[in-house]
Chains A and B, each alone.
Chain A
Protein backbone atom coordinates (compact mmCIF):
# COMPACT_ATOMS: atom_id res chain seq x y z
CA UNK A 1 0.00 0.00 0.00
CA UNK A 2 1.26 3.44 -0.85
CA UNK A 3 1.38 6.27 1.57
CA UNK A 4 -2.00 7.97 1.29
CA UNK A 5 -2.12 11.54 0.12
CA UNK A 6 -5.04 12.51 2.27
CA UNK A 7 -4.62 11.36 5.86
CA UNK A 8 -8.17 12.17 6.85
CA UNK A 9 -9.84 10.37 4.00
CA UNK A 10 -12.34 7.71 4.80
CA UNK A 11 -10.11 5.04 3.35
CA UNK A 12 -7.24 5.93 5.62
CA UNK A 13 -9.38 6.12 8.68
CA UNK A 14 -10.98 2.85 7.86
CA UNK A 15 -7.59 1.21 7.30
CA UNK A 16 -6.29 2.37 10.66
CA UNK A 17 -9.35 1.28 12.54
CA UNK A 18 -9.54 -2.01 10.79
CA UNK A 19 -5.91 -2.82 11.41
CA UNK A 20 -6.24 -2.00 15.05
CA UNK A 21 -9.25 -4.25 15.29
CA UNK A 22 -7.35 -7.05 13.59
CA UNK A 23 -4.54 -6.60 16.03
CA UNK A 24 -6.91 -6.94 18.93
CA UNK A 25 -8.55 -9.95 17.44
CA UNK A 26 -5.18 -11.51 16.96
CA UNK A 27 -4.36 -11.19 20.61
CA UNK A 28 -7.36 -13.25 21.56
CA UNK A 29 -6.46 -15.95 19.15
CA UNK A 30 -6.37 -19.48 20.47
CA UNK A 31 -3.41 -21.67 19.72
CA UNK A 32 -5.30 -24.49 18.06
CA UNK A 33 -7.87 -23.11 15.60
CA UNK A 34 -10.75 -25.46 14.96
CA UNK A 35 -13.20 -25.08 12.12
CA UNK A 36 -15.82 -23.38 14.24
CA UNK A 37 -13.18 -21.09 15.61
CA UNK A 38 -12.17 -20.13 12.12
CA UNK A 39 -15.73 -19.37 11.19
CA UNK A 40 -16.20 -17.31 14.25
CA UNK A 41 -13.05 -15.36 13.56
CA UNK A 42 -14.12 -14.83 10.01
CA UNK A 43 -17.39 -13.39 11.22
CA UNK A 44 -15.60 -11.25 13.70
CA UNK A 45 -13.31 -9.83 11.09
CA UNK A 46 -16.21 -9.10 8.84
CA UNK A 47 -18.10 -7.38 11.58
CA UNK A 48 -14.94 -5.51 12.50
CA UNK A 49 -14.66 -4.33 8.93
CA UNK A 50 -18.26 -3.13 8.93
CA UNK A 51 -17.92 -1.42 12.26
CA UNK A 52 -14.65 0.28 11.45
CA UNK A 53 -16.11 1.51 8.21
CA UNK A 54 -19.07 2.91 10.06
CA UNK A 55 -16.93 4.58 12.66
CA UNK A 56 -14.70 5.97 9.94
CA UNK A 57 -17.73 7.50 8.28
CA UNK A 58 -18.96 8.84 11.59
CA UNK A 59 -22.51 9.59 12.55
CA UNK A 60 -23.35 11.68 9.54
CA UNK A 61 -25.05 8.88 7.73
CA UNK A 62 -28.02 6.83 8.76
CA UNK A 63 -26.49 3.54 7.77
CA UNK A 64 -23.30 4.12 9.73
CA UNK A 65 -25.35 5.20 12.71
CA UNK A 66 -27.35 2.01 12.44
CA UNK A 67 -24.20 -0.10 12.35
CA UNK A 68 -22.69 1.71 15.29
CA UNK A 69 -25.88 1.42 17.27
CA UNK A 70 -25.99 -2.28 16.60
CA UNK A 71 -22.43 -2.72 17.77
CA UNK A 72 -23.00 -0.74 20.93
CA UNK A 73 -26.22 -2.59 21.63
CA UNK A 74 -24.49 -5.90 21.23
CA UNK A 75 -21.91 -4.74 23.66
CA UNK A 76 -24.35 -3.49 26.24
CA UNK A 77 -27.05 -6.11 26.32
CA UNK A 78 -25.72 -9.57 26.30
CA UNK A 79 -27.21 -12.91 27.29
CA UNK A 80 -30.87 -13.79 27.06
CA UNK A 81 -32.13 -10.30 27.75
CA UNK A 82 -30.55 -9.24 24.55
CA UNK A 83 -32.37 -11.98 22.76
CA UNK A 84 -35.74 -10.88 24.01
CA UNK A 85 -34.96 -7.29 23.32
CA UNK A 86 -33.99 -8.05 19.82
CA UNK A 87 -37.22 -9.78 19.09
CA UNK A 88 -39.28 -6.88 20.32
CA UNK A 89 -37.11 -4.60 18.28
CA UNK A 90 -37.70 -6.51 15.10
CA UNK A 91 -41.40 -6.53 15.73
CA UNK A 92 -41.40 -2.83 16.20
CA UNK A 93 -39.56 -2.33 12.96
CA UNK A 94 -42.06 -4.46 11.11
CA UNK A 95 -44.90 -2.51 12.58
CA UNK A 96 -43.27 0.71 11.63
CA UNK A 97 -42.84 -0.45 8.11
CA UNK A 98 -46.39 -1.52 7.84
CA UNK A 99 -47.58 1.80 9.09
CA UNK A 100 -45.35 3.72 6.73
CA UNK A 101 -47.55 5.89 4.55
CA UNK A 102 -44.91 6.15 1.86
CA UNK A 103 -45.21 2.50 1.11
CA UNK A 104 -48.02 2.95 -1.34
CA UNK A 105 -46.18 5.58 -3.30
CA UNK A 106 -43.61 3.35 -4.88
CA UNK A 107 -46.26 1.14 -6.35
CA UNK A 108 -44.96 -2.06 -7.87
CA UNK A 109 -41.43 -1.41 -6.67
CA UNK A 110 -42.39 -2.89 -3.33
CA UNK A 111 -40.27 -6.01 -3.49
CA UNK A 112 -37.05 -4.39 -4.66
CA UNK A 113 -37.70 -1.66 -2.21
CA UNK A 114 -37.87 -4.10 0.67
CA UNK A 115 -34.86 -6.06 -0.46
CA UNK A 116 -32.82 -2.90 -0.65
CA UNK A 117 -34.03 -1.93 2.79
CA UNK A 118 -32.80 -5.22 4.10
CA UNK A 119 -29.40 -4.76 2.49
CA UNK A 120 -28.62 -1.27 3.64
CA UNK A 121 -28.16 -1.13 7.39
CA UNK A 122 -30.78 0.95 9.08
CA UNK A 123 -32.83 0.94 5.92
CA UNK A 124 -36.04 -0.12 7.63
CA UNK A 125 -38.40 2.71 8.18
CA UNK A 126 -36.63 5.04 5.80
CA UNK A 127 -38.56 6.65 3.02
CA UNK A 128 -37.54 5.80 -0.48
CA UNK A 129 -35.69 9.01 -1.19
CA UNK A 130 -33.56 8.69 1.85
CA UNK A 131 -32.97 5.05 1.18
CA UNK A 132 -31.57 5.84 -2.24
CA UNK A 133 -29.14 8.44 -1.02
CA UNK A 134 -28.03 6.19 1.82
CA UNK A 135 -27.56 3.38 -0.64
CA UNK A 136 -25.38 5.56 -2.82
CA UNK A 137 -23.15 6.44 0.10
CA UNK A 138 -23.10 2.89 1.34
CA UNK A 139 -22.02 1.60 -2.06
CA UNK A 140 -19.20 4.10 -2.16
CA UNK A 141 -18.06 3.07 1.27
CA UNK A 142 -18.26 -0.61 0.47
CA UNK A 143 -16.08 -0.03 -2.53
CA UNK A 144 -13.52 1.81 -0.49
CA UNK A 145 -13.67 -0.93 2.09
CA UNK A 146 -13.07 -3.62 -0.49
CA UNK A 147 -10.20 -1.72 -1.99
CA UNK A 148 -8.50 -1.23 1.34
CA UNK A 149 -9.05 -4.79 2.39
CA UNK A 150 -7.66 -6.05 -0.89
CA UNK A 151 -4.64 -3.85 -0.45
CA UNK A 152 -4.05 -5.17 3.05
CA UNK A 153 -4.44 -8.70 1.83
CA UNK A 154 -1.99 -8.12 -0.99
CA UNK A 155 0.41 -6.53 1.38
CA UNK A 156 0.43 -9.49 3.71
CA UNK A 157 0.16 -12.37 1.34
CA UNK A 158 3.22 -11.39 -0.65
Chain B
Protein backbone atom coordinates (compact mmCIF):
# COMPACT_ATOMS: atom_id res chain seq x y z
CA UNK B 1 0.00 0.00 0.00
CA UNK B 2 1.49 3.36 -0.91
CA UNK B 3 1.23 6.53 1.14
CA UNK B 4 -1.01 8.58 -1.15
CA UNK B 5 -3.73 6.00 -0.80
CA UNK B 6 -3.51 6.19 2.93
CA UNK B 7 -3.56 9.92 2.76
CA UNK B 8 -6.81 9.79 0.91
CA UNK B 9 -8.25 7.49 3.46
CA UNK B 10 -7.15 9.62 6.32
CA UNK B 11 -8.65 12.67 4.74
CA UNK B 12 -12.03 11.12 4.76
CA UNK B 13 -11.46 9.90 8.23
CA UNK B 14 -10.86 13.47 9.21
CA UNK B 15 -14.55 14.01 8.95
CA UNK B 16 -14.37 12.51 12.42
CA UNK B 17 -12.72 14.79 14.94
CA UNK B 18 -10.23 12.17 16.14
CA UNK B 19 -8.60 11.71 12.83
CA UNK B 20 -5.58 9.52 13.33
CA UNK B 21 -6.56 7.17 16.08
CA UNK B 22 -6.94 3.54 15.30
CA UNK B 23 -10.49 3.67 16.53
CA UNK B 24 -11.22 6.34 14.01
CA UNK B 25 -9.85 4.17 11.32
CA UNK B 26 -11.93 1.21 12.32
CA UNK B 27 -15.07 3.26 12.54
CA UNK B 28 -14.57 4.97 9.31
CA UNK B 29 -16.19 2.63 6.79
CA UNK B 30 -19.49 3.35 8.44
CA UNK B 31 -19.04 7.08 8.91
CA UNK B 32 -17.06 7.97 5.84
CA UNK B 33 -19.65 8.08 3.13
CA UNK B 34 -18.70 11.28 1.40
CA UNK B 35 -17.82 11.36 -2.27
CA UNK B 36 -15.13 9.27 -3.82
CA UNK B 37 -13.44 8.80 -0.48
CA UNK B 38 -15.96 6.18 0.45
CA UNK B 39 -14.66 3.96 -2.23
CA UNK B 40 -11.18 4.12 -0.87
CA UNK B 41 -12.53 3.74 2.59
CA UNK B 42 -14.20 0.51 1.62
CA UNK B 43 -10.99 -0.70 0.19
CA UNK B 44 -9.26 0.17 3.40
CA UNK B 45 -11.89 -1.59 5.35
CA UNK B 46 -11.49 -4.70 3.28
CA UNK B 47 -7.81 -4.69 4.07
CA UNK B 48 -8.78 -4.87 7.69
CA UNK B 49 -6.55 -4.40 10.66
CA UNK B 50 -3.39 -4.74 8.65
CA UNK B 51 -4.19 -1.34 7.26
CA UNK B 52 -3.94 0.14 10.71
CA UNK B 53 -0.27 -0.48 10.93
CA UNK B 54 0.25 0.92 7.51
CA UNK B 55 -1.65 3.99 8.42
CA UNK B 56 0.51 4.60 11.39
CA UNK B 57 3.54 4.14 9.27
CA UNK B 58 2.28 6.59 6.81
CA UNK B 59 1.70 9.15 9.48
CA UNK B 60 5.25 8.71 10.55
CA UNK B 61 6.51 9.30 7.08
CA UNK B 62 4.26 12.25 6.73
CA UNK B 63 5.50 13.74 9.93
CA UNK B 64 9.05 13.31 8.92
CA UNK B 65 8.28 14.88 5.62
CA UNK B 66 6.62 17.84 7.24
CA UNK B 67 9.60 18.16 9.51
CA UNK B 68 11.78 18.23 6.50
CA UNK B 69 9.62 20.90 5.05
CA UNK B 70 9.89 22.83 8.26
CA UNK B 71 13.60 22.68 7.89
CA UNK B 72 13.22 24.16 4.50
CA UNK B 73 11.08 26.85 5.99
CA UNK B 74 13.77 27.63 8.51
CA UNK B 75 16.33 27.92 5.86
CA UNK B 76 14.07 30.20 4.00
CA UNK B 77 13.57 32.16 7.14
CA UNK B 78 17.23 32.78 7.57
CA UNK B 79 17.32 34.00 4.06
CA UNK B 80 14.43 36.27 4.90
CA UNK B 81 16.32 37.64 7.86
CA UNK B 82 19.25 38.35 5.69
CA UNK B 83 16.97 40.10 3.36
CA UNK B 84 15.57 42.21 6.13
CA UNK B 85 18.99 43.08 7.37
CA UNK B 86 20.01 44.05 3.94
CA UNK B 87 16.96 46.18 3.46
CA UNK B 88 17.49 47.89 6.78
CA UNK B 89 20.80 49.02 5.46
CA UNK B 90 19.10 50.53 2.50
CA UNK B 91 17.86 53.96 3.45
CA UNK B 92 15.10 53.90 0.90
CA UNK B 93 12.94 51.29 2.51
CA UNK B 94 10.62 52.69 5.15
CA UNK B 95 10.38 51.21 8.61
CA UNK B 96 6.72 50.48 8.11
CA UNK B 97 7.61 48.36 5.16
CA UNK B 98 10.13 46.50 7.23
CA UNK B 99 7.66 45.85 9.95
CA UNK B 100 5.26 44.57 7.44
CA UNK B 101 7.93 42.34 6.00
CA UNK B 102 8.92 41.05 9.36
CA UNK B 103 5.45 40.35 10.49
CA UNK B 104 4.74 38.69 7.22
CA UNK B 105 7.64 36.42 7.67
CA UNK B 106 6.84 35.78 11.26
CA UNK B 107 3.35 34.82 10.37
CA UNK B 108 4.48 32.85 7.43
CA UNK B 109 6.87 30.71 9.38
CA UNK B 110 4.52 28.83 11.61
CA UNK B 111 2.28 28.19 8.68
CA UNK B 112 5.17 27.62 6.38
CA UNK B 113 4.92 23.89 6.64
CA UNK B 114 1.26 24.04 5.87
CA UNK B 115 1.88 26.15 2.85
CA UNK B 116 4.49 23.96 1.44
CA UNK B 117 2.79 20.73 2.22
CA UNK B 118 -0.32 22.22 0.72
CA UNK B 119 1.61 23.00 -2.38
CA UNK B 120 2.81 19.46 -2.65
CA UNK B 121 -0.69 18.14 -2.38
CA UNK B 122 -2.58 20.23 -4.81
CA UNK B 123 -3.84 17.25 -6.69
CA UNK B 124 -5.10 15.74 -3.50
CA UNK B 125 -6.94 18.95 -2.80
CA UNK B 126 -8.47 18.82 -6.20
CA UNK B 127 -9.92 15.43 -5.41
CA UNK B 128 -11.64 16.30 -2.15
CA UNK B 129 -12.30 19.57 -0.44
CA UNK B 130 -11.91 18.28 3.10
CA UNK B 131 -8.25 17.79 2.49
CA UNK B 132 -6.71 20.70 4.27
CA UNK B 133 -8.29 20.01 7.59
CA UNK B 134 -6.28 16.98 8.64
CA UNK B 135 -3.09 18.49 7.40
CA UNK B 136 -3.68 21.60 9.41
CA UNK B 137 -4.77 19.65 12.39
CA UNK B 138 -1.63 17.64 12.34
CA UNK B 139 0.71 20.48 11.69
CA UNK B 140 -0.83 22.59 14.39
CA UNK B 141 1.03 21.10 17.33
CA UNK B 142 4.32 21.46 15.54
CA UNK B 143 4.48 25.07 14.45
CA UNK B 144 4.46 26.74 17.88
CA UNK B 145 7.41 24.63 18.88
CA UNK B 146 9.03 25.41 15.60
CA UNK B 147 8.32 29.05 16.03
CA UNK B 148 9.88 29.23 19.46
CA UNK B 149 12.80 27.20 18.29
CA UNK B 150 13.48 29.48 15.43
CA UNK B 151 13.02 32.51 17.55
CA UNK B 152 15.53 31.30 20.08
CA UNK B 153 17.87 30.72 17.29
CA UNK B 154 17.31 34.07 15.81
CA UNK B 155 19.51 36.09 18.12
CA UNK B 156 22.26 33.61 17.56
CA UNK B 157 21.99 33.89 13.87
CA UNK B 158 21.98 37.63 13.79
CA UNK B 159 25.03 38.37 15.88
CA UNK B 160 26.88 35.19 16.63
CA UNK B 161 30.08 37.08 17.17
CA UNK B 162 28.85 39.18 20.02
CA UNK B 163 27.13 36.16 21.52
CA UNK B 164 30.35 34.19 21.48
CA UNK B 165 32.18 37.16 22.84
CA UNK B 166 29.69 37.49 25.66
CA UNK B 167 30.04 33.81 26.49
CA UNK B 168 33.79 34.17 26.51
CA UNK B 169 33.67 37.19 28.77
CA UNK B 170 31.37 35.38 31.14
CA UNK B 171 33.75 32.47 31.25
CA UNK B 172 36.68 34.74 31.94
CA UNK B 173 34.95 36.59 34.75
CA UNK B 174 33.84 33.30 36.26
CA UNK B 175 37.39 32.02 36.28
CA UNK B 176 38.62 35.30 37.61
CA UNK B 177 36.23 34.86 40.47
CA UNK B 178 37.56 31.38 41.16
CA UNK B 179 41.09 32.74 41.17
CA UNK B 180 40.06 35.59 43.42
CA UNK B 181 38.76 33.08 45.90
CA UNK B 182 42.02 31.21 45.73
CA UNK B 183 44.31 34.15 46.20
CA UNK B 184 44.09 35.58 49.70
CA UNK B 185 43.27 39.24 49.97
CA UNK B 186 42.20 39.39 46.38
CA UNK B 187 38.52 39.71 47.07
CA UNK B 188 38.74 43.33 48.05
CA UNK B 189 40.62 44.33 44.97
CA UNK B 190 38.49 45.82 42.25
CA UNK B 191 39.51 45.95 38.65
CA UNK B 192 40.71 43.26 36.36
CA UNK B 193 44.25 44.53 36.00
CA UNK B 194 44.74 44.86 39.74
CA UNK B 195 43.32 41.42 40.34
CA UNK B 196 45.68 40.03 37.77
CA UNK B 197 48.52 41.85 39.46
CA UNK B 198 47.60 40.26 42.74
CA UNK B 199 47.44 36.84 41.14
CA UNK B 200 50.82 37.33 39.55
CA UNK B 201 52.32 38.42 42.83
CA UNK B 202 50.83 35.46 44.59
CA UNK B 203 52.09 32.97 42.04
CA UNK B 204 55.53 34.51 42.16
CA UNK B 205 55.59 34.38 45.94
CA UNK B 206 54.54 30.75 45.84
CA UNK B 207 57.28 29.94 43.40
CA UNK B 208 59.80 31.75 45.55
CA UNK B 209 58.56 29.84 48.51
CA UNK B 210 59.16 26.60 46.67
CA UNK B 211 62.63 27.76 45.84
CA UNK B 212 63.30 28.68 49.42
CA UNK B 213 61.97 25.39 50.65
CA UNK B 214 64.11 23.47 48.23
CA UNK B 215 67.12 25.38 49.48
CA UNK B 216 66.28 24.45 53.01
CA UNK B 217 65.66 20.89 52.02
CA UNK B 218 69.01 20.78 50.34
CA UNK B 219 70.63 21.85 53.57
CA UNK B 220 68.63 19.32 55.55
CA UNK B 221 68.93 16.56 53.05
CA UNK B 222 72.53 15.78 53.88
CA UNK B 223 71.67 14.89 57.42
CA UNK B 224 68.60 12.85 56.88
CA UNK B 225 69.48 10.32 54.24
CA UNK B 226 68.61 7.27 56.33
CA UNK B 227 65.36 8.82 57.46
CA UNK B 228 64.30 9.47 53.91
CA UNK B 229 65.09 5.91 53.02
CA UNK B 230 62.60 4.72 55.55
CA UNK B 231 60.09 7.47 55.11
CA UNK B 232 57.60 6.37 52.53
CA UNK B 233 56.90 2.92 53.88
CA UNK B 234 56.97 3.86 57.52
CA UNK B 235 55.16 7.10 57.80
CA UNK B 236 53.36 8.01 54.71
CA UNK B 237 51.28 5.24 53.29
CA UNK B 238 50.06 1.73 53.66
CA UNK B 239 52.29 -0.86 52.08
CA UNK B 240 50.11 -1.50 49.06
CA UNK B 241 50.10 2.05 47.99
CA UNK B 242 53.77 2.35 48.58
CA UNK B 243 54.33 -0.37 46.00
CA UNK B 244 51.97 1.40 43.73
CA UNK B 245 53.82 4.61 44.22
CA UNK B 246 57.04 2.83 43.43
CA UNK B 247 55.63 1.58 40.20
CA UNK B 248 54.35 4.98 39.35
CA UNK B 249 57.25 7.01 40.46
CA UNK B 250 60.18 4.88 39.46
CA UNK B 251 60.06 6.06 35.89
CA UNK B 252 59.79 9.78 36.07
CA UNK B 253 62.00 10.79 38.96
CA UNK B 254 64.96 8.97 37.56
CA UNK B 255 64.23 10.47 34.24
CA UNK B 256 64.12 13.99 35.41
CA UNK B 257 67.03 13.53 37.73
CA UNK B 258 69.09 12.46 34.79
CA UNK B 259 67.54 15.07 32.61
CA UNK B 260 68.30 17.79 35.04
CA UNK B 261 71.85 16.70 35.34
CA UNK B 262 72.21 16.84 31.62
CA UNK B 263 70.58 20.20 31.72
CA UNK B 264 73.08 21.36 34.19
CA UNK B 265 75.91 19.97 32.11
CA UNK B 266 74.52 21.58 29.06
CA UNK B 267 74.25 24.87 30.80
CA UNK B 268 77.85 24.65 31.78
CA UNK B 269 78.81 23.79 28.26
CA UNK B 270 76.64 26.51 26.87
CA UNK B 271 78.11 29.15 29.12
CA UNK B 272 81.57 27.93 28.17
CA UNK B 273 80.58 28.30 24.58
CA UNK B 274 79.42 31.81 25.06
CA UNK B 275 82.52 32.73 26.84
CA UNK B 276 84.61 31.10 24.14
CA UNK B 277 83.02 32.88 21.24
Q: Which A residues form the contact surface with B (CB < 8 A)?
A: 1, 3-4, 7-8, 12-13, 15-17, 19-26, 28-29, 33, 38, 40-52, 55, 68, 71-76, 78-80, 82-83, 105, 108-109, 112-113, 115-116, 119-120, 128-129, 132-133, 135-136, 138-140, 142-143, 145-146, 149-150, 152-153, 155-157
Contacts and interface: CB of A to CB of B under 8 A. Distances in A.
Given A74-B260, A136-B175, A153-B213, A116 B249 contact: no
A142 B236 contact: no
Interface in B146-180: 165, 168, 171-172, 175-176, 178-179
A140 B206 CA distance: 10
Given A45-B214, A55-B252, A129-B171, A139 B203 contact: yes
B127 interface: no
Contacts, number: 220
B179 A139 contact: yes
Given A16-B245, A33-B222, A149-B213, A4 B232 contact: no
A45 B217 contact: yes
Interface of B: 165, 168, 171-172, 175-176, 178-179, 182-183, 192-193, 196-197, 199-200, 202-204, 206-207, 209-211, 213-218, 220-225, 227-229, 231-232, 235-238, 241-242, 245-246, 248-250, 252-266, 269-270, 273
A153 B260 contact: no
Contacts of B211: 42, 46
7 contacts: A47-B256, A48-B214, A71-B256, A113-B196, A139-B182, A142-B203, A146-B210
A90 to B, nearest CB: 14
Contact of A40 (B197, B224, B264): B264
B252 A17 contact: yes
Which of A42, A49, A83 is most buried by chain B, counting CB atoms within 10 A of its CB? A42
Given A3-B235, A45-B218, A119-B207, A23 B228 contact: yes
Given A40-B264, A49-B214, A80 B258 contact: no
Contacts of A45: 214-215, 217-218, 221
B111 to A, nearest CB: 43
Given A74-B263, A129-B172, A135-B203, A149 B214 contact: yes
Nearest to A83: B270
Nearest to B220: A156
A75 B196 contact: no
9 cross-chain pairs, A with B, having the tightest CB-CB distances, nearest first: A75-B259, A132-B175, A112-B196, A74-B259, A46-B214, A16-B245, A78-B262, A21-B253, A45-B214
Nearest to A133: B175
B249 to A, nearest CB: 4
